[in-house]
C-alpha cells in the first residue's frame, strides 16, 4: 500500500514545506501555501510514464539524422518557431483570456490536418460541440482533425498512445489532473506531473505537443517557473482588447532564435497573418508633428519600424510625472537626465509621457536615440523630418554607441521609402548600403539633435 503524508506547496513558486507558513520563504508571497497529500510509492508501484532506464552512450557513436520541420500555411507562425514545428517538441503558449490562443491552435491544427496529418485536439475547458462551433466559424472541414474533451491524465496518455497522432494540442494544462494526486487541477503538483507526462510522450514518440497555459494577473504563465524550464519553446500571445492586432512572441526556443515576433490580425474568420508589420505600425502616423520619431528595432531576426511619440508639458506639481508605454519606464528619466546634463535642456520641471505607437513593446537599447530626439522635439515644439529614421544607444556621458544588425535595419527603412537614417558613427564601417538612402553618423546626442532638428 502507498503511504500518504501531508505537505504544503506554494502555488506561486512550488516551494514545499512539511508545515504551513503564512509567507513563502522562497518567493516571499503571502497565503500561497496549500495543503496537499503526497503518496510515497512502494518499490513495485508504477507511474503513468514508467519506462526502462536508458544506457549511457558515447556521443561520437550516436547516429543522427536530419528531421525536416513541419511547416504550416502561416509563415509568421513558422518563423516564430524557428522555421517550423520540430518533431517531438513540447511547446507552451500563454496569453490573456480571450486573446485568441485556442483560435490560433485550432487553425494550425486544421492546416496540419490538410497535409494530411492526424491531429488530436484535446479540450479540457470546452465540450466537443463547443469546439465544433468554433470550427464552423473558422470554416474548418477536415476528417483528420480529431477532438477530445477529457481532463484525466491517464485517459489522455492512453488515447495518444492508441491513436498515435502526428500532432497534439492540450487546451489547457491547468485543467488536466492526475488521479493519484489529491490536489485540485491547476495546482503546482498537478501542472508539474501533467507537463512531465506530456514531455515523455513527445520525446518517446516524436509527437510535437502544444500545451496552452493560463497567465496570472501580472502576465506571467500560471504555475511554477519549472513549467517554462521543462518545455522546449515558450510563446506568449499578446495584444490589447481594443485592438485587432495580436503579437506572438518567442521568449524561449531550443530550436531557433528567441525574441522572434509574429503579428496577426483578429477577424471574424479567424487570425490572419500580417506579413509587413512596419506598414501597420506606421499607417496612422501624423507627419510633421513635434514629438514623433521613427526607430528601426530588431525583434529577433526581423527589423521592425515603429513610431515613438513623446509629450512634454510643464508640470503643475512638485514632482514631475514620467510615464512610458511600450518601453521600460526607467529609460525615460535616464534619457531626460542625459538631455538635461549633456544637451542643456531644462526638463526637471516638465511632465513626460512617452509611448510606442501600435501596442508593440520594445526592450532593446537601440531605441535610446529615437526616444531622446522625440523628447527634445516635443520640448522644443519642433518636428523632425518625416522621412528620418533614428538608430542608436545613448550612454550616460551623451555618446551614441553602436548597435547590432545595422545593415538589416537600414534595408528595412529603405524598403518603406525613408530617405535618411541617423545612426552611430561607429556603425559606418564594415558595410555599405545597397540603396541610395542617406546615412548620417553621429557621435553624441548633441550631434543627433543638430541633425534631426535642424
> What pairs with residue 134 in β-bridges?
none
Is 95 annotated in a binding site? The answer is yes
User: In this structure, what are the phi and psi dihedrals at residue 322, rounded to the nearest 5 degrees?
Assistant: -130, 105
Work out the pLDDT band at 45, boundaries 50, 70, 90: very low
* % of the chain surpassing 90 pLDDT: 57
Is 285's pLDDT higher than 80? yes
Between CA 118 and CA 115 the distance in angstroms is 9
**pLDDT confidence of residue 20:** 92
From 254, 264, 304, 263, select the one nearest 83 (Cα to Cα). Answer: 254
Q: What is the pLDDT of residues 325-376, one digit of tens each?
A: 999 999 999 999 999 999 999 999 999 999 998 878 898 999 999 999 999 9
> Which architecture, in CATH terms, is 280-452?
2-Layer Sandwich (3.30)
**pLDDT confidence of residue 80:** 92
**pLDDT confidence of residue 51:** 52
From 425, 419, 363, select the one nearest 389 (Cα to Cα). Answer: 419
Question: Quick check: 319 and 351 in contact, CB under 8 A?
Answer: no
Is 163's pLDDT higher than 80? yes
Is 208 annotated in a binding site? The answer is no
Is 97 annotated in a binding site? The answer is yes
Is 98 annotated in a binding site? The answer is yes
Question: Quick check: 98 and 217 in contact, CB under 8 A?
Answer: no
Q: What is the mean pLDDT of residues 132-157?
A: 93
From 382, 395, 440, 443, select the one nearest 413 (Cα to Cα). Answer: 440
Is 102 annotated in a binding site? The answer is yes
Is 99 annotated in a binding site? The answer is yes
Q: What is the CATH number of domain 71-274?
A: 3.40.50.300
Amino acid at each position: 500500500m502507498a503511504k500518504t503524508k501531508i505537505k504544503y506547496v506554494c502555488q506561486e513558486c512550488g516551494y514545499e514545506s512539511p508545515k504551513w507558513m503564512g509567507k513563502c520563504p522562497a518567493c516571499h508571497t503571502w497565503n500561497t501555501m496549500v495543503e496537499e497529500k503526497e503518496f510515497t510509492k512502494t518499490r513495485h508501484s508504477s507511474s503513468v510514464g514508467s519506462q526502462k532506464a536508458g544506457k549511457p552512450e558515447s556521443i561520437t557513436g550516436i547516429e543522427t539524422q536530419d528531421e525536416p520541420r513541419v511547416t504550416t500555411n502561416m509563415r509568421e507562425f513558422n518563423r516564430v518557431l524557428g522555421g517550423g514545428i520540430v518533431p517531438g517538441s513540447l511547446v507552451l503558449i500563454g496569453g490573456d483570456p480571450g486573446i485568441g490562443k485556442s483560435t490560433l491552435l485550432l487553425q494550425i491544427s486544421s492546416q496540419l490536418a490538410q497535409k494530411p496529418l492526424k491531429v488530436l485536439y484535446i479540450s479540457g475547458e470546452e465540450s466537443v460541440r463547443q469546439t465544433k462551433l468554433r470550427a464552423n466559424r473558422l470554416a474548418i472541414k477536415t476528417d483528420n482533425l480529431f477532438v477530445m474533451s477529457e481532463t484525466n491524465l491517464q485517459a489522455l496518455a492512453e488515447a495518444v498512445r492508441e491513436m498515435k497522432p502526428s500532432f497534439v494540442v492540450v487546451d489547457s494544462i491547468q485543467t488536466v489532473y492526475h488521479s493519484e494526486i489529491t490536489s485540485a487541477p491547476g495546482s503546482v503538483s498537478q501542472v508539474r506531473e501533467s507537463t512531465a507526462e506530456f514531455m515523455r510522450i513527445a520525446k518517446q514518440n516524436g509527437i510535437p505537443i502544444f500545451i496552452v497555459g493560463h497567465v496570472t494577473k501580472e502576465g506571467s504563465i500560471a504555475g511554477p517557473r519549472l513549467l517554462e524550464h521543462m518545455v522546449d519553446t515558450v510563446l506568449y500571445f499578446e495584444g490589447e482588447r481594443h485592438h485587432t492586432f495580436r503579437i506572438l512572441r518567442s521568449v524561449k526556443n531550443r530550436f531557433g532564435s528567441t525574441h522572434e515576433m509574429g503579428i496577426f490580425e483578429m477577424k471574424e474568420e479567424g487570425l490572419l497573418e500580417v506579413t509587413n508589420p512596419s506598414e501597420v505600425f506606421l499607417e496612422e502616423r501624423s507627419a510633421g508633428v513635434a514629438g514623433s520619431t521613427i526607430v528601426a528595432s530588431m525583434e529577433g531576426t526581423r527589423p521592425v519600424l515603429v513610431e515613438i511619440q513623446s509629450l512634454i508639458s510643464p508640470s503643475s506639481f512638485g514632482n514631475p510625472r514620467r510615464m512610458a508605454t511600450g518601453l521600460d519606464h526607467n529609460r525615460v528619466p535616464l534619457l531626460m537626465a542625459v538631455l538635461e546634463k549633456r544637451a542643456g535642456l531644462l526638463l526637471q520641471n516638465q511632465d513626460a509621457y512617452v509611448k510606442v505607437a501600435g501596442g508593440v513593446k520594445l526592450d532593446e537599447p537601440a531605441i535610446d536615440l529615437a526616444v531622446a530626439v522625440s523628447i527634445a522635439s516635443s520640448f522644443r515644439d519642433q518636428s523632425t523630418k518625416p522621412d528620418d529614421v533614428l538608430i542608436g544607444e545613448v550612454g550616460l556621458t551623451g555618446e551614441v554607441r553602436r548597435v547590432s544588425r545595422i545593415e538589416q535595419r537600414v534595408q528595412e527603412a529603405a524598403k518603406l521609402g525613408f530617405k535618411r537614417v541617423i545612426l552611430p558613427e561607429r556603425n559606418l564601417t564594415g558595410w555599405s548600403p545597397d540603396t541610395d538612402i542617406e546615412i548620417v553618423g553621429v557621435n553624441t546626442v548633441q550631434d543627433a539633435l543638430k541633425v534631426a532638428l535642424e
